[in-house]
């Protein structure tokens, strides 16, 4: 969990407001915890998180992303950290590039990252990235998120994440052409613009050769879990 240790430093970096004339270039620090949730799948429980910390001005930002899942009392099953430079590309989109490091039981992996993040028409949040592992294996990931306002406070948030491996990495159990689709539906109650507890359901299915290998090991290629969590930003 070394990722988490970096957060206090980012939190301390509050917006430093320069005097005119360069007030318009003031850097802003933001920590957005998109999901911090307990997952309930039958008798199994796990803690899952996904967060992004940014620091920078309108044009340039440094970005730290962290996501992962940790079984109740058990090991951290997956932990992914990305350190990116993000640069404004257009009115609604940014380029981003950097490194990713995965730490999980079994082999660790580091990747180079190149991608785009932004707001697509119809208010769809997109984050699309190409990863190339230290072994040279490429993979793609697209995440899309939407907020459907039922009222000013009740917000339904569908989210899709699609991972596609373009090469075999037998040690990780990832096969070329294999893919994973994760779909989530969360109902948020917006206590304030910054703070929303939520309930929801997440579902994950693994396809292709990755799925075959998973089934060969006697694992399920499809999982679902109820979630109870918090979304907030600082």
Partner 1 sequence: MKRLLLAVGLLGLSLTAQAARYELVIDEGQVRFSDGVRPALTVNGQSPAPELRFQEGEAVEIVVTNKLERMSALHWHGILLPYTQDGVPGISFPGIQPGETFTYRFTVNQSGTYWYHAHADFQEQEGIYGPLIIEPKGRQPYRYDREYTVLLFDWQDEKPERTLANLKKQADYYNDQQPTLGDLLRDAKRDGWSAALKDRWDWGNMRMAKTDIADVSGFRFLVNGRDTEQNWTALFKPGERVRLRIINGSGMSYFDLRIPGLAMTVVQADGNDVQPVTVDQLRIAVAETYDVIVQPKEDKAYTLFAESMDRRGYARATLAPRAGMQGEVPELRAPRLLSMADMGMAHAGMDHGGMDHGAMADGEMAGMDHSAMAGMDHSKMSGVDHSAMAGMDHSQMAGMDHGAMNHAAMAQANNPDYAAGSGIAPEPVDGGRVLVYGDLKAMRPAAGYRAPDRTIELQLTGNMERYFWSFNGVKYSEAEPIRLKYGERVRFRFVNQTMMNHPMHLHGMWMQLDKGNGQFNPLKHVVNVAPGQTLEVDVPVDAMGEWAFHCHLIYHMGSGMFRKIVVEAADGSTQPFYSEQPAAKESEHAHH
User: What residue ranges bind partner 1 (CB under 8 A)?
Assistant: 15, 17, 19-26, 28, 30, 58, 88, 91-92, 119, 121-123, 148-152, 193-194, 233
Structure tokens, 161: 């994440």
Q: Which is nearer to partner 1, 57 or 108 (CB)?
A: 57
Whats the size of the chain, residue-wise? Answer: 234
Q: Are the C-beta atoms of 57 and 84 separated by less than 8 Å?
A: no
Q: What is the DSSP letter of 192?
A: B
Q: Which is nearer to partner 1, 7 or 47 (CB)?
A: 7
Structure tokens, 66: 């962290």
Structure tokens, 70: 């940790």
Q: Which is nearer to partner 1, 91 or 216 (CB)?
A: 91
Give the nearest distance from C-beta 55 to partner 1 in angstroms.
Answer: 12
CA distance 43 to 148: 31
CA distance 156 to 6: 31
CA distance 191 to 117: 27
Give the nearest distance from C-beta 152 to partner 1 in angstroms.
Answer: 6
Give residue 74's Cα distance to chain centre.
22
CA distance 227 to 229: 6
CA distance 13 to 55: 8
Q: Which is nearer to partner 1, 23 or 42 (CB)?
A: 23
CA distance 95 to 142: 14
Give the nearest distance from C-beta 59 to partner 1 in angstroms.
Answer: 9
Give the nearest distance from C-beta 14 to partner 1 in angstroms.
Answer: 8
Give the nearest distance from C-beta 144 to partner 1 in angstroms.
Answer: 14
Structure tokens, 104: 């999980």
Give the nearest distance from C-beta 115 to partner 1 in angstroms.
Answer: 18
Q: Which is nearer to partner 1, 2 or 87 (CB)?
A: 87
Q: Which is nearer to partner 1, 17 or 218 (CB)?
A: 17
């Amino acid at each position: 969990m070394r990722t988490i240790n970096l957060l206090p430093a980012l939190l301390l970096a509050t917006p430093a407001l320069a005097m005119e004339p360069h007030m318009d270039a003031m850097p802003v620090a933001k920590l957005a915890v998109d999901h911090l949730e307990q997952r309930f799948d039958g008798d199994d429980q796990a803690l899952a998180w996904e967060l992004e910390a940014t620091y920078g001005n309108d044009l340039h930002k440094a970005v730290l992303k962290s996501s992962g899942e940790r079984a109740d009392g058990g090991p951290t099953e997956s932990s992914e950290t990305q350190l990116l430079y993000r640069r404004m590309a257009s009115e609604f989109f940014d380029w981003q590039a950097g490194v990713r490091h995965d730490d999980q039981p079994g082999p660790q992996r580091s990747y180079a990252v190149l991608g785009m993040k932004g707001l697509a028409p119809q208010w769809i949040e997109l984050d699309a990235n190409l990863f190339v592992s230290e072994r040279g294996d490429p993979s793609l990931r697209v995440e899309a998120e939407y907020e459907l306002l039922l009222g000013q406070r009740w917000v339904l948030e569908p989210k899709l994440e699609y991972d596609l491996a373009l090469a075999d990495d037998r040690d990780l159990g990832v096969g070329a052409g294999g893919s994973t689709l994760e779909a989530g539906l969360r109902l948020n109650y917006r206590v304030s613009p910054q703070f929303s507890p939520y309930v929801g359901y997440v579902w994950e299915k693994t396809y292709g050769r990755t799925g075959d290998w998973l089934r060969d090991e006697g694992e399920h290629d499809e999982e679902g879990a109820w979630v109870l969590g918090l979304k907030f930003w600082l």
